[in-house]
């Protein structure tokens, strides 16, 4: 940590709260589910599988015959295949709730398997004979490593190894169920949980916010770590310094000012007449009646697509020290921490620790995961951190522009629509996403059984960022197009490029097959850039793109409705809510956290995709089925019903947790936090109920 020098800080009031540092340590660990054992009728604990002792030989013979009949029936009717696990879902979930380990997701499937073998071991376990396996098939083992960087590394041993996607789906359900079940039920509980998480009382007006969430049946009331990750470092600025910095934002490009009170909401500034500020004003106008009667504050916001201020690790860590010690930054110390020459590292990676992968690995942005063990995303947020995943600098077009002062380490109190995960600005709700979803027509939400295409669908324009300093072909949208379609005039080359694909084996496991890229794309993909070159820096660049990209024609918005799989991923997505509501399962690639990031759960509500797209074929092979020698998909080895379940969960998430009132509740709470930062006496602006 940075060593504090004498006279480098301002002392705050001795009565000032001292927030916990847990917000910098990541989200709070989900609480475990109850693991109380069942109680016997006469008191004491009953064994899970115990039954009265069978004394008569005829009964024993009858039970043995009955169990053999069940086993034969299961084999005869194909219950040994993975696709027949649907009838075990209720049993599996009961077991998940009864035997869940305090660490989320450490639950094994019933009987250790998901087919006939799993059913057999379940029945045997129910009569206390669970250990008698004899020569029956052994359960598949989990040999995959979950990393703090958000990735699960697939074990290199494929024999008797369970496919990792099963475990990812199981963990996702438990994680989200835990989140919902642990939410506070009363105002007193919510206040206590706030203090436990953040080490300070909630802001004044928290009781009014609580009344609002109860009246609007909002299910998630405690998990707002996304807000606190943004707000927390600003507690290291004195109120005067914070207000001064807010005032400095007024002269920035693409900004507006919004005055908010219980009585009215008004707009001012260069962008006051733009649609995005007007939409935000309309949203806040809808709940200002619920604000405390004395509420009044002014915010400065940007209607640009993306914020661009990454707070350096050194300044973030120093802010944490000051908050814990009850002190504030001095102007001189901030000047030193904001100096782009404070480190020999230039550009984006100057925000990263010297020993982070971005700076410890030579030429880190060019490191590829091709040829390495297979990986899938298990936690999306850590994979958005370019300090831990420096290849994002090359893989995502948003990072294509880099220079010495590209990432100024500055606490900039500006409301933005989208930002990088280490950005210091305030993330607001993107109202355009809700509007896009609310415009859905019945034809946009085709039931799963009526969808005719088991392919992945995406159409997009050639936006997404490219710069003269790097080849335009590296931009994420361009890479996606070339991966699926090849270069114009050279499509046949894909027939000679082999991909190693994880193929489900019908017995819970997988093998690695070598399949040419042409065959994979014909079987799984309907993806491509549409229209013509856009956002070119020169006419020559447009001509170069036109020569290499075979553009597809634009299609009506409802075309994607007949596809079971939909791809989303650019910046913050205006169409994400619409895609989740469409009844298709959404595969999402992103490096930008959303306001609901603490709630939406990968592998339960959507399928996460790496920025490299290296996992795309493996994902499609698991859900749609592997590609046979004739180029057709073997649907019998796929997991269509699991894809359907994720699609339905995504629809439910939008209905329950992306509704208008939930977005209002998020902004309500953010505004309360913001008003406290503006106040001369932040203690007095805290809720003491």
186: how many CB neighbours lie within 10 A of its CB?
10
Mean pLDDT of 498-516: 94
- Six-digit token string for 208: 């009014």
For 133-147, 195-209, 470-484, which range has the lowest pLDDT when averaged over its residues? 133-147
Specify the pLDDT at position 28: 36
The three-state DSSP-derived secondary structure of 281-297 is HHHHHCCHHHCCCCCEE
**Buried-state track 437-448, b at ≥16 Cβ within 10 A, e below 16:** beebeeebebeb
pLDDT at 63 over 90: no
Give 252-274 as a DSSP string. STTEEEEEEESS-EEEESTTTTS
**For 241-246, which contacts have Cβ atoms below 8 Å and span 24 or more sequence positions?**
241/328, 241/329, 241/331, 242/413, 242/677, 242/678, 243/678, 245/411, 245/412, 245/413, 246/298, 246/299, 246/300, 246/413, 246/678
pLDDT in tens, 391-420: 999 888 888 778 777 767 899 999 999 999
d(CA 99, CA 53) in angstroms, rounded, equals 25
Region 267-273: what's the mean pLDDT? 95
Say how many CA atoms lie within 13 Å of 291 toward its Cβ. 25
pLDDT at 572: 63
Considering the chain, what percentage of its residues have pLDDT values greater than 70?
77
Q: Would you place residue 59 in the very low, low, confident or very high pLDDT band (cuts 50, 70, 90)?
A: low
Strands 255-261, 296-302: pairing is: antiparallel
What pLDDT was estimated at residue 308?
75
What phi-psi label fits residue 356: left (phi over 0), alpha (psi between -120 and 50 degrees) or beta? beta
Mean of the pLDDT values across residues 81-107? 37
Spans of all domains in the chain: 57-181, 431-657
Task: Give Cβ neighbours of residue 88 (< 8 Å, ≥ 6 apart).
Answer: 109, 110, 114, 118, 119, 122
Fold of 431-657: Rossmann fold (3.40.50)
Helix (H) or strand (E) holding 568: strand 563-568
Compute φ and ψ for 515, nearest 5 degrees.
-130, 140
| Percentage with pLDDT > 90 across the chain | 58
pLDDT tens, position by position, 365-397: 888 877 789 999 999 999 999 999 999 998 888
pLDDT (0 to 100) of residue 470: 74
Residue 200 host element (H or E)? none
Record the tokens describing residue 248, joined without a space. 């400095």
Indicate the pLDDT class of residue 304, thresholds 50, 70 and 90: confident
pLDDT-derived band of residue 46, with 50, 70 and 90 as boundaries? very low
Average pLDDT, the chain: 81
Q: Which residues, other chains included, contact 379 with Cβ-Cβ below 8 Å and sequence gap of 6+?
A: 150, 602
- Signed CA dihedral, 112, 115, 118, 121: sign only: negative
Q: What is the pLDDT of residue 68?
A: 63
- Give the whole-angstrom CA distance, residue 254 versus residue 256: 7
Pairing between strand 525-529 and 563-568? unpaired
Cα 313 to Cα 10, 234, 338, 544, distances in angstroms: 21, 15, 11, 40
Question: If you compute the radius of gyration of the chain from its CA atoms, what whole number of angstroms results?
Answer: 27
Q: How would DSSP label each residue in 84-121?
A: G-GGGHHHHHHHHHHH--SSTT-PPPGGG-SSHHHHHH
Residues 244 and 623: their CA atoms lie apart, in Å, by 54
Tokens of 429: 């709700």
Buried b / exposed e across 555-584, counting CB within 10 Å, b at 16+?
eebeebbebbbbbbbbbbbbbbbbbbbbbb
Q: Is the pLDDT of residue 106 over 70?
A: no
Instruction: Please answer whether residues 149 and 356 qualify as being in contact, where contact means their C-beta atoms are separated by less than 8 angstroms.
Output: no
Q: How high is the pLDDT of residue 558? A: 74
Mean pLDDT in residue range 531-548: 84
CA 72 to chain centre: 43
φ/ψ bin of 50: left (φ > 0), alpha (ψ from -120 to 50), beta (otherwise): beta
The answer to whether the CB of 598 falls within 8 A of the CB of 224 is: yes
Q: What is the pLDDT of residues 562-620, one digit of tens each?
A: 999 999 976 567 789 989 999 999 999 999 999 999 999 999 999 999 999 999 999 99
Other beta carbons within 10 angstroms of residue 237's beta carbon come to 21
With tokens 């280490």, the residue in question is 422
Distance CA 149, CA 562 (A): 35
DSSP code for 46: P
> Own/partner pairs for 245-248, CB < 8 Å, 24+ apart?
245/411, 245/412, 245/413, 246/298, 246/299, 246/300, 246/413, 246/678
pLDDT of residue 132: 36
Q: What is the pLDDT of residues 110-150, one digit of tens each?
A: 223 333 333 333 333 333 333 333 333 455 667 899 999 99
Which DSSP symbol is given to 13?
A: P
């Amino acid at each position: 940590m940075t060593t504090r020098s004498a006279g480098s800080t301002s002392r705050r009031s001795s009565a000032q709260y001292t927030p916990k540092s847990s917000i910098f340590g990541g989200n709070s660990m989900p609480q475990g589910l109850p693991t109380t054992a069942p109680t016997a009728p006469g008191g004491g604990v009953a064994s899970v599988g115990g039954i009265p002792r069978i004394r008569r030989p005829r009964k024993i013979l009858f039970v043995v015959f009955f169990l053999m009949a069940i086993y034969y029936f299961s084999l005869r009717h194909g219950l040994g295949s993975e696709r027949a696990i649907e009838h075990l879902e209720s049993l599996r979930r009961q077991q998940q709730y009864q035997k869940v380990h305090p660490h989320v997701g450490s639950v094994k499937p019933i009987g250790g398997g998901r087919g006939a073998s799993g059913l057999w071991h379940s029945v045997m376990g129910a009569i206390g004979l669970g250990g008698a396996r004899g020569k029956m098939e052994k359960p598949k083992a989990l040999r995959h490593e979950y990393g703090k960087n958000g990735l699960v590394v697939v074990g290199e041993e494929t024999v008797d190894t369970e496919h990792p996607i099963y475990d990812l789906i199981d963990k996702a359900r438990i994680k989200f169920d835990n989140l919902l079940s642990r939410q506070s039920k009363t105002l007193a509980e919510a206040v206590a949980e706030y203090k436990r998480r953040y080490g300070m009382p909630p802001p004044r007006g928290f009781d009014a916010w609580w009344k609002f969430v109860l009246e609007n049946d909002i299910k998630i009331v405690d998990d707002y770590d996304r807000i606190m990750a943004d707000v927390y470092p600003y507690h290291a600025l004195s109120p005067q310094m914070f207000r001064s910095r807010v005032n400095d934002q007024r002269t920035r490009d693409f900004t507006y000012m919004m005055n908010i009170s219980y009585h009215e909401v008004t707009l001012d500034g260069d962008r006051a007449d733009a649609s995005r500020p007007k939409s935000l004003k309309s949203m806040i106008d809808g709940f200002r009646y619920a604000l405390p009667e004395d509420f009044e504050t002014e915010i400065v916001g940007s209607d640009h697509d993306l914020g661009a201020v990454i707070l350096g690790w050194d300044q973030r860590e120093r802010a944490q020290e000051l908050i814990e010690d009850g002190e504030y930054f001095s102007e001189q110390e901030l000047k030193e921490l904001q100096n782009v020459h404070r480190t020999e590292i230039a550009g984006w990676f100057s925000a990263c620790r010297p020993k982070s992968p971005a700076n410890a690995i030579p030429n880190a942005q060019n490191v590829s995961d091709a040829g390495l063990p297979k990986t899938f995303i298990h936690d999306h947020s850590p994979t958005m951190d370019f300090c831990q995943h420096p290849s994002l600098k090359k893989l995502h077009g948003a990072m294509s522009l880099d220079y010495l002062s590209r990432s100024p380490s500055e606490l900039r109190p500006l409301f933005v629509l989208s930002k990088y995960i280490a950005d210091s600005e305030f993330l607001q709700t993107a109202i355009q996403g809700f509007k896009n979803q609310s415009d859905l027509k019945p034809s946009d939400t085709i039931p799963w059984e009526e969808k005719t295409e088991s392919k992945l669908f995406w159409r997009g324009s050639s936006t997404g960022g490219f710069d003269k300093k790097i080849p335009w072909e590296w931009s994420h949208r361009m890479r996606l197009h070339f991966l699926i379609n090849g270069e114009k005039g050279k499509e046949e080359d894909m027939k000679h490029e082999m991909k190693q694909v994880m193929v489900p084996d019908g017995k819970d496991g997988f093998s690695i097959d070598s399949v040419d890229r042409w065959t994979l794309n014909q079987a799984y993909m309907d993806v491509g850039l549409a229209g013509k070159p856009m956002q070119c820096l020169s006419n020559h660049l447009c001509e170069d793109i036109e020569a290499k990209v075979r553009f597809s024609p634009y299609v009506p918005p409802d075309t994607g409705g007949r596809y079971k799989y939909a791809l989303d991923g650019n910046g913050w997505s205006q169409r994400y809510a619409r895609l989740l509501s469409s009844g298709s399962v959404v595969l999402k690639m992103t490096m930008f956290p959303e306001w609901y990031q603490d709630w939406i759960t990968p592998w339960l509500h959507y399928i996460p995709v790496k920025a490299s797209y290296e996992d795309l074929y493996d994902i499609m092979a698991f859900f749609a089925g592997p590609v046979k020698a004739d180029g057709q998909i073997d649907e019998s080895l796929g997991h269509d019903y699991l894809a359907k379940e994720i699609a339905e969960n995504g629809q439910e998430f939008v209905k329950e947790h992306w509704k208008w009132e939930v977005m209002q509740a998020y902004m309500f709470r953010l505004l309360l936090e913001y008003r406290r930062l503006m106040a001369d006496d932040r203690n007095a602006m805290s809720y003491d109920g």
